[in-house]
Structure 1
């Protein structure tokens, strides 16, 4: 059984992070620790983490750096450096986890494989109510759910949708899992990819180039994303080109990554 470290990336949305952390607390199988990769949030996020740390069931570690723009790759690299587990489950701080999320990732973990999960969405109109009630229990029939199929947990049939592929398409850091040793091998996220877009696919491309397989899963590891306005995509084209370059040249590592963070 892997020792799972849960990495949660966040930026200036403590209301969402609170719901996310409450959903971690209710997990039927807990990670060994939770590390918050904070891309420069203000004091409200720090205060929230300090309050929740008091009775959190596992160590809750806050890794922060100064806000100099979208630098998620760098802060996630720093957080994973601090991780003591041998297996990393990575999510964003704007998701609510179904209570078997960590257990499901434990079940599908496999050597020489990284795991790509999916997510349902909660309509933005529901957010004020969720902040007020701190509701964290949802299912595919819940009010305001988008992509309802992704909200279904049915482990007995999940094998029908479990597919291993040698490609990096559609990989998202919101529901991603991998062995820490594999991450170190490829030197983690590319720190030069700053701004929104494709940094997860570029990392996955290097996993593929080192002989790892992508395992796509459904009906397990369910999460509910709090819908929000999209970030600026001004660097998307540059990042997409970086993915193509990594695949074309079969790059297995990056020059400025985990080791340089």
Structure 2
């Protein structure tokens, strides 16, 4: 059986409704040669059952990587998911980010040796997040500014992420002042590069562990490329009970160490113990 060109890693934790909507977005991608690896940070059996049902409808392979719930351990489960990826190139996003139908295609077209890609997201309020149906995703209504405004979306320059065409999007990517960092909701790179720096630092909980990975990739010699106005996904709203001042400050100190030492490899990253693959 031929290995897929790309692997898409999606993190999730007890958010079945959002995961179902996100996977619907991957059912209608224009580019088809990819697999999905779900990095499940200890969800209950409800998530496993939902994934098994969705797997029957998915046009691409679906792999569920799970470990026991031990609090917020996203870095650890992402490392386990990385080991389960069969693709040479990896797109990372979240199970609450619905991709536009050209999302995977944009990452594939822009991938380049010596680079990683930095995308963004368009945050939706809770009322619109709830209102989006499967049909809205299949028909791509949830990516249309006019439809979202009918649902109550306010006017903003940020809406250009949705309305920009290919030419305008390319210009905005080039001139945006936003740093082209590794963003966990929308970024991609070569698996060999991520493994070379030993993946995510598993000491880090919520708050910047994705950025720290990107900083080590740059210390390793890679450059970043901005695609925030081309690779579009809408982010469904949710509470963040795992966000603490302590974890953010702890992670800031690790990132400071990474920048000051110019280190690319973390000794707290991927180990040889593979996760349970359901």
Q: TM-score scaled by structure 2?
A: 0.86
**For residues 108 and 153 of structure 1, what CA distance do their matches in structure 2 show?**
17
Runs of 4+ in 1 over 4 A off after TM superposition: 167-170
**For residues 119 and 5 of structure 1, what CA distance do their matches in structure 2 show?**
19
- Give secondary structure in 2 for the equivalent of 1:33: strand
Contact 1:168 1:205 in 2 (8 A): no
- After superposition, the Cα gap between the structure-2 partners of 1:126 and 1:242, relative to the gap in structure 1 and judged at 3 Å, is same
Instruction: Give the alignment partner of residue 146 of structure 2, picking from 141, 145, 149.
Output: 141
Structure 1 partner of 2:116: 114
**For residues 33 and 15 of structure 2, what CA distance do their matches in structure 1 show?**
23
Contact 2:121 2:228 in 1 (8 A): no
- Give secondary structure in 1 for the equivalent of 2:271: helix
Instruction: Give the alignment partner of residue 198 of structure 2, picking from 168, 187, 212.
Output: 187
Q: How far is 1:157 from its partner?
A: 3.2
- After superposition, the Cα gap between the structure-2 partners of 1:145 and 1:11, relative to the gap in structure 1 and judged at 3 Å, is farther
Q: How far is 1:3 from its partner?
A: 1.3
Contact 1:169 1:201 in 2 (8 A): no
Structure 2 partner of 1:237: 249
Instruction: Give the alignment partner of residue 213 of structure 1, picking from 176, 200, 223.
Output: 223
**For residues 9 and 210 of structure 1, what CA distance do their matches in structure 2 show?**
25
**For residues 216 and 21 of structure 1, what CA distance do their matches in structure 2 show?**
24
Which range is displaced more, 121-130 or 52-61?
A: 121-130
Q: How far is 1:11 from its partner?
A: 0.5
- After superposition, the Cα gap between the structure-2 partners of 1:251 and 1:26, relative to the gap in structure 1 and judged at 3 Å, is same
Q: How far is 1:123 from its partner?
A: 1.3
Question: For residues 210-240 of structure 1, what are the alpha-carbon distances to aligned partners after superposition, in whole Å with 9 as ceiling and x for unaligned?
Answer: 1101111233110000012234223001101
**For residues 171 and 179 of structure 2, what CA distance do their matches in structure 1 show?**
21
Q: How far is 1:259 from its partner?
A: 3.4
What RMSD over aligned residues (CA atoms) do the two structures have, in Å?
A: 2.2
Contact 2:180 2:224 in 1 (8 A): no
Question: For residues 166-204 of structure 1, what are the alpha-carbon distances to aligned partners after superposition, in whole Å with 9 as ceiling and x for unaligned?
Answer: x9775320001010010011111011112x101011101
1:156 aligned onto 2:167: yes
Contact 1:24 1:30 in 2 (8 A): no
